[in-house]
A and B are shown apart, each in its own frame.
Chain A
Amino acid sequence: MTSPLEQKKIRITGPSVVTANRTWDGAVVYRTAKRGWSTELADSAVVSTSDDARALLAEATADDVGAVGPYIAPVELKDGGKVKPGNLREHIRAKGVTIDLQVPA
């Protein structure tokens, strides 16, 4: 759960994606294989080597208008190729806060 703001070197040890926040509304987005952004993790381009991750991040970073603060995030590949967040931080970004938002009345 190390903050990606401290992500200095690009070295991945497992399947990864590039994620960011959409510029106009801040929504969590994932870089797709079609050089675009999607709010669905399932649409993300999954890379498994450091070179591919570096290239995907460079391409995402170039789209400064579309999304803000891209970084590489770990994912898990489940049976059937389903993509799941690789840590709690990414789980929260993908699924939302872990708390009940309603202040009890």
Chain B
Amino acid sequence: MYAYDELDRTLINERVSEFRDQVKRRLSGELTEDEFKILRLQNGVYLQLHAYMFRVAIPYGTLSSKQLRRLAHVARRYDRGYGHFTTRQNIQFNWIKLAELPDALADLAEVGIHAMQTSGNNMRNVTSDQWAGVAPGEIEDPRIWSELIRQHTTLHPEFSFLPRKFKIAITAAEHDRAAIKIHDIGLRLHKNADGETGFEVLVGGGLGRTPFIAKTIKPFVPGRDILSYIEAILRVYNQYGRRDNIYKARIKILVHELGIEKFAKEVEEEWKAMGDVGLTLDHTAIEEVRSRFSYPAYEKLPHMPDELKQAAHDKLFERWRKNSVSAHKVQGYSIVTLSLKPVGGPPGDATAEQMDAVADLADKYSFGEIRVGHEQNLALPHVAKRDLAQLFKALDRLGLATPNVNLVTDIIACPGLDYCSLANARSIPIAQELTRRFANHDTADLIGRLHINISGCINACGHHHVGHIGILGVEKNGEEFYQITIGGRADENAQMGTLIGPAVPYAEVADVIEDIVEAYLALRDRPEELFVDTVKRLGVEPFRERVYATR
């Protein structure tokens, strides 16, 4: 966990006071909506279909049990008893009242939570691997760098009024769980030939109506220079990025139009021209932030405790363990993913009761710590293997032990037309129907790893472009239709999916997905060949034929 210092606490509390005054002036009519809009956006407040939506940051996906309980309190006290975890390590509340928002923010501030950098044309919440600090083989904890960047960019005037929103993600593991290649800046922590720690810097990734995979502009930037290098990127973006057209304002468009070589050259020249602007991170500064992250006092535990051996006779436990429990860097411990994708449930939603219960389980089994991943699931990062069976029973009672992590029903979905003012079509009911179609866990196991991503509009909050199967809601003559892409992926081999054919109506989407999955099962050359690899080997044509031959 990261311990906030007095400066952090003061900043958050001052922000609450400032927003309380702004809300008061808005409600009295002293501020018009046009004047107020940018202020509310800077505090995570959108206006959606039914109400204001309040987006709260969970920096690098790390929460304490105390913080999660406070989120549950906000859900219960100010909203309708639940929250929605997003694809960027935030949580959203869908029914919040503007008049009560300052109180909600004040309650969150007491536990070091805020809504800064969750909306508006600024540097957004810096995201990271939800297994940071516990993943085996990790170079080092990437959250230290996420925090350094967060501190530097929060309320920074140069980053507060950018041409468009700007997103950074960091990974330090071989397998990218942070989807860095679909971010404006993706940072991959690694060591150079001299053993020095630094970053591969990728720029220009993003989804939306013009999707691009980020490209590398510098293979290695020493850690001490990362702030100045990011600043150089932002300066080039600020100088050349378009502000005349919202659809062409993201840095990915600039990178595409300039070309990656030219863009990289501009950044390099800017970086050199900046000289020493006081942004070099000396050892003391890095260690100061590092020292504020506390790690559990792990016990020395056996690799295979007796409790785990005994529990292995329970088939339900074993199914869950194989699916949801992952290796930890410390012997005797595991990382446990808590699926927020129950059969028939809205992906990523958690009730206040579930949040409270998870906080209690975190205290009991995970040193009081919870993680939030971009796949819209939670994780307990430090669970002793001897406790896994007890934890499973508790999670099962809460509806949080669905053994579907990374399987066909572990669907990523945006709120869609049920909540969002930008959406053209619904996402959640499509996801719910698919979880019912594939509810049989044996079938899901047989299918293997398969990521379905659903977006209700081209803004792509459900990351449909990079789903193994992507589903995009569109509108045709007032009706909901859905375009289907296959072959996308969001990991270290990220790529966009390919459209398989004309959009299909709402009522046919689940049938189409079933057809695609059946085609895959017939076409894969062995059970271990993943769906996305079969698509890579054969292309989309056999799937297209299967879907449209009878339609």
Contact = CB atoms under 8 A, between A and B. Distances in A.
Interface of A: 1-3, 5, 21, 23-28, 64-65, 68-69, 87-89, 92-93, 96-105
Given A2-B475, A69-B33, A103-B345, A26 B51 contact: yes
A27 B51 contact: yes
Interface stretch (B92-100, B162-170, B184-192, B464-472): B92-100
B187 to A, nearest CB: 33
Contacts of B432: 99-100
B97 A25 contact: yes
Contact of B98 (A23, A69, A105): A23
Nearest to A93: B49
B195 interface: no
A37 B33 CA distance: 17
A24 B97 contact: yes
Contacts of A3: 421-422, 424
Per DSSP, are chain A's interface residues mostly helix, strand or loop, or mixed? loop
A103 B351 contact: yes
20 contacts: A1-B424, A5-B421, A21-B51, A23-B33, A24-B27, A25-B98, A26-B97, A27-B50, A27-B51, A68-B33, A92-B50, A92-B417, A96-B50, A97-B428, A99-B346, A103-B340, A103-B349, A103-B351, A103-B399, A104-B342
A36 to B, nearest CB: 16
A97 B419 contact: yes
B98 A64 contact: no
Nearest to A24: B99
A88 B344 contact: no
A95 B345 CA distance: 20
Interface residues of B, number: 46
Interface string B28-60: 110011000000000000011111100000000
B50 A93 contact: yes
Given A21-B52, A104-B399, 7 more contacts: A5-B421, A23-B27, A26-B47, A26-B52, A100-B432, A101-B82, A103-B399
A16 to B, nearest CB: 15
Contact of A92 (B49, B340, B349): B49
Contacts of B407: none
Contact of A97 (B32, B418, B422, B480): B418
A2 B344 CA distance: 28
A87 B49 contact: no
B461 to A, nearest CB: 14
A52 to B, nearest CB: 23
B340 to A, nearest CB: 8
A89 B418 CA distance: 8
Contacts of B397: 105
A41 to B, nearest CB: 14
A89 B417 contact: yes
The 4 closest A-B pairs by CB, nearest first: A26-B51, A25-B97, A26-B52, A65-B29
B350 interface: yes
Given A68-B47, A105-B399, A1 B33 contact: no
Contacts of B97: 24-26
